[in-house]
Structure 1
């Protein structure tokens, strides 16, 4: 039994999970072995012959917490997932925008500009915090190259040009990770 990234993993055979107030109790051979506040958990992964009370299953479904049952060897058996919520009207507009080439280009430019600006900010912050003059110069030069790509992005005429600028920006940024 372990909690990792707000997910409770139960690997102990014949464990039984139940809801007790606002906490999850893990029972093994009718003995309480673990008690975790439910609000700390986003999901459950249960291995082998592990059982869960109907009350806890219902609460997980209502709250949107996923529960995954795996076989003893980790093979997927089934999943409990609560109601899926989404806005069909929003999805329809998103698909329409994706099908509209001029609109797609505008959106792609905005997304990539954001990525390049964020990368540039990270490099500029690293340059300010560096105590090494050579590193400061190298990081500053990379930040200026990203700034140049941001300016070029405005004049990109198609998605391939935008992708090229994104790729070049990634090359510049990731080339400096060892310096950061």
Structure 2
């Protein structure tokens, strides 16, 4: 597993020879060869030794700090790539109205397509939503501004999340997407998963050398990683939503894996719930699916598809005649 998650409160992450070791009260809780680690998530009160900090900076390992319950706090990042020409190309691409609109349109259409593809196997329960989402894919193709595309995307999300409601057991009441704060277990899992996924995409963007704060669909706002939000859109449904629906339907998570949040009427995963969610999320990232390669279709993990997608966008901004093609799930 290329990502190390440390959730045990009061634990210490230290370096021992060529391994990262998680300890608490003199007892080893986990250890992993340094060579296998690409990203580290620390949840809550976790101690770091100086050698680990030096290692993370030297090796370019992305280290993300979150609250115990999954709220993003910040990250420790080593020297960024020196590819100034790539970033210059990105800045010019963002200023190119035609390229920006074409890229935003491709992202919205891919997201909508992945949503209806996910809903389609559920049959009569989701048939109306599938039809409407397919119409919105066509509608997005006709839109001539990024603002109009955002409107189509918003309409699609409303249709999609309403269609998810009957897929959950009665113990998991879900009235639609609510984020701040999440009022029910399903929203709690969605928010938690989207946080993990967005940080994975953000780290990949930085590794490739693009600027994560300059996007094409999401506008420029201070301290908002617009490009990460752009590129995460097509992956929300096949990765996070898939994990949430199947955890609930297969009994991997139950009502006992949640607790009240600090905000009024908020619900969050408890410690055991977070462990179960992370295990399912990592398993999904490691799932191999069909993806077009240089010599034909290949079986590639979702984690590697994310990296390929970021590199695909990097090639597109360097040669704006090359259309960016976001990830689209193959229809079952």
The TM-score normalised by the length of structure 1 is 0.66
Counterpart-to-counterpart distance in 2, 1:47 and 1:19: 21
Matched residue, 1:75 = none
Tell me: CA distance 1:175–1:57, structure 2 relative to 1, closer, same or farther (3 Å): closer
Counterpart-to-counterpart distance in 1, 2:117 and 2:82: 34
Tell me: CA distance 1:62–1:110, structure 2 relative to 1, closer, same or farther (3 Å): same
Which 5+ residue runs of structure 2 have no aligned equivalent?
66-73, 168-332
Counterpart-to-counterpart distance in 1, 2:101 and 2:41: 41
The one of 20, 24, 32 aligned to 1:37: 32
**Number of equivalent positions:** 153
CA shift at 1:21, angstroms?
3.9
Deviation digits for residues 29-69 of structure 1 (CA, Å, limit 9, x no counterpart)? xxx42151244653375958x56253x44333222235689
Matched residue, 1:104 = 100
Which 5+ residue runs of structure 1 have no aligned equivalent?
70-77, 128-135
Counterpart-to-counterpart distance in 1, 2:13 and 2:32: 16
Matched residue, 1:64 = 60
Q: Does structure 2 conserve the Cα–Cα contact (< 8 Å) formed by 1:113 and 1:153?
A: yes
Structure with the larger strand share: 1
1:24 aligned counterpart, secondary structure? strand
Q: Does structure 1 conserve the Cα–Cα contact (< 8 Å) formed by 2:57 and 2:79?
A: yes
CA shift at 1:12, angstroms?
4.1
Matched residue, 1:165 = 152
Tell me: CA distance 1:159–1:79, structure 2 relative to 1, closer, same or farther (3 Å): closer
1:94 aligned counterpart, secondary structure? helix
Per chain length, whose mean CA-contact separation is higher, i.e. which structure has more relative contact order (CA < 8 Å, sep 6+)?
2
Tell me: CA distance 1:123–1:43, structure 2 relative to 1, closer, same or farther (3 Å): closer
CA shift at 1:157, angstroms?
2.1
2:126 aligned counterpart, secondary structure? helix
Instruction: Compare CA radii of gyration and give the structure with the larger one.
Output: 1
Superposition RMSD on alpha carbons, in Å?
A: 3.4
The TM-score normalised by the length of structure 2 is 0.39
Counterpart-to-counterpart distance in 2, 1:7 and 1:174: 29
Tell me: CA distance 1:61–1:9, structure 2 relative to 1, closer, same or farther (3 Å): farther
Tell me: CA distance 1:151–1:19, structure 2 relative to 1, closer, same or farther (3 Å): same
Tell me: CA distance 1:93–1:53, structure 2 relative to 1, closer, same or farther (3 Å): closer
Deviation digits for residues 70-118 of structure 1 (CA, Å, limit 9, x no counterpart)? xxxxxxxx97543223633222222212112222111111110001100
2:94 aligned counterpart, secondary structure? helix
Matched residue, 1:177 = 164
Counterpart-to-counterpart distance in 1, 2:105 and 2:48: 50
Tell me: CA distance 1:100–1:24, structure 2 relative to 1, closer, same or farther (3 Å): same
CA shift at 1:25, angstroms?
6.5
- Structure 2 residue 86 is matched with structure 1 residue 94: no
Tell me: CA distance 1:165–1:47, structure 2 relative to 1, closer, same or farther (3 Å): closer
